Amino acid sequence: MTNTKGKRRGTRYMFSRPFRKHGDVPLATYMRIYIKGMGTVQKGMPHKCYHGKTGRVYNVTQHAVGQDSCQEN
């Protein structure tokens, strides 16, 4: 196989939903600061390097939430 270097490389289990948690996404998911990507929502998906990180909200608009996150653990 070729050397794959895509954006979603190695995220098969990282972005997958648990069993019996498929379907609609509750709104409380968007209110927390813990960054966790979901494969069910493709728009606004964070990069895999931010998965599991925490941050703080600094800007709230009608269509997006500005979030400052630290890349370190």
| CATH of residue 45 | 2.30.30.70
Higher-confidence residue of 21 and 31: namely 21
Q: What are phi and psi of 49, to 5 degrees?
A: -75, -20
**What's the number of domains the chain is made of?**
1
pTM value surpassing 0.75: no
The DSSP 8-state label assigned to residue 50 in this structure reads G
* pLDDT at residue 12 is higher than 70: yes
Here the tokens at position 13 are: 């289990």
Instruction: Work out the mean pLDDT of the chain and round it to a whole number.
Output: 78
**Distance, first Cα to last Cα, the chain:** 33
Structural domain boundaries enclosing 51: 1-72
